[in-house]
Amino acid sequence: MREEGADRYPQDRYPQVCAAEESAVSQLPTSPTLEFAATTPYEDYVRAEVLARLQTPLSDDPGEMAFLVTTQVMELWFALVVHEWEAAGRALRADDLPAALAALDRSVDELVSLNASWRPIARLTPGQFNRYRGALGEASGFQSAMYRRMEFLLGDKSRSMLVPYRNVPEVHARLEKALHEPSLYDEALRWLALRGHGVPAAVLERDVSAPYEADPAVEDMWERVYAAEERHGDERRLGETLTEIAELVWRWRNDHLVATRRAMGAKKGSGGSAGVAWLEKRAAKTVFPELWTARSRV
């Protein structure tokens, strides 16, 4: 059997093409550049040395390094997801749905990778976790400022969650700003209203610093979109992308719950939290609620 592509440009039929390919190949460097005036361009761009110096385990247990790196990787994913959702919100305000969907689609893949970050520490036994748990002191994941921005963008607003940062003015100011900005869902509903869909004024004009509460009229609106989705292709795609995000957020919260339950059972969490009980309450919350309840009526 002839190798696929072997006669793509037979020399007797396309001599000029073959000559051009041979010339291009002959001009390729035979080896990579190895000498640079200072650091490598890769290091200048990625800052790998900086990243590698950010891990400072506080115990002698070798497993702590996996916990520390995993947590830091999650912080990078949080930052990237926030970047995408803020870009999507700006695009929706500008009535640029393709740009908004592109950012949201990227965030779906990023959330999948974020969720996969649990793997290195998802099966810790209580004994393994206890070997370095004391090194965490009062540190707890709920103190993550970037995760808090992510939650605010999901519509889960809470002024009390700014309190841990009041002695860090720059971080507090960023979160205060995020608290008073529309969530991703707020932006989506405003865009739908501009398209003539029945989003009530009370929802459009609500205090966006308060947690989003489900509204029957918004559920009615999503029901109409899905009942006639062939006429509302753009709206349906926005709804489905938001639903995918909501599902991945739910999976993240449940993976967090299960990993914590395996590592420490029902013990009190670090930072004074209720541990598993607090995570169970978080996991029970539905993101973009009417997108889920409307499906029962279509």
**pLDDT (tens digit per residue) in 117-144:** 999 999 999 999 999 999 999 898 889 9
Q: What is the pLDDT of residue 4?
A: 47
Binding residues for substrate, by number, are: 133
pTM: 0.87
Residue 124 included in any domain: yes
Residue type, 223: E
How many domains does the chain fold into?
A: 1
Residue 111 included in any domain: yes
Average pLDDT, the chain: 91
Binding residues, by number, are: 133, 256
**The residue count for the chain:** 298
Per residue in 257-270, pLDDT (tens digit) is 999 999 999 887 66
Binding residues for heme, by number, are: 256
Are 81 and 150 in contact by the 8 Å Cβ rule? The answer is yes
Are 95 and 76 in contact by the 8 Å Cβ rule? The answer is no
Residue 151 included in any domain: yes
pLDDT-derived band at 189, boundaries 50, 70, 90: very high
Residue 189 included in any domain: yes
Is pLDDT at 1 greater than 50 in this prediction?
no
Residue 3 included in any domain: no
Are 74 and 117 in contact by the 8 Å Cβ rule? The answer is yes
What does DSSP assign to residue 273? -
Is pLDDT at 8 greater than 60 in this prediction?
no
Q: Over pLDDT 70: what percentage of the chain?
A: 88
Per residue in 90-126, pLDDT (tens digit) is 999 999 999 999 999 999 999 999 999 999 999 999 9
**Residue 271 tokens, joined:** 């930072």
CATH, residue 101: 1.20.58.480
Q: What b/e readout covers 64-92, taking b as 16+ CB neighbours within 10 angstroms?
A: beebbbbbebbeebbebbbebbbbbbebb
Per residue in 242-259, pLDDT (tens digit) is 999 999 999 999 999 999
Residue 178 included in any domain: yes
Per residue in 15-59, pLDDT (tens digit) is 565 566 666 656 666 788 999 999 999 999 999 999 999 999 999
Quote the domain boundaries for residue 188.
47-297
The residue-averaged pLDDT of 209-228 equals 96
Q: What is the pLDDT of residue 23?
A: 64
Residue 237 included in any domain: yes
Q: What is the pLDDT of residue 17?
A: 55
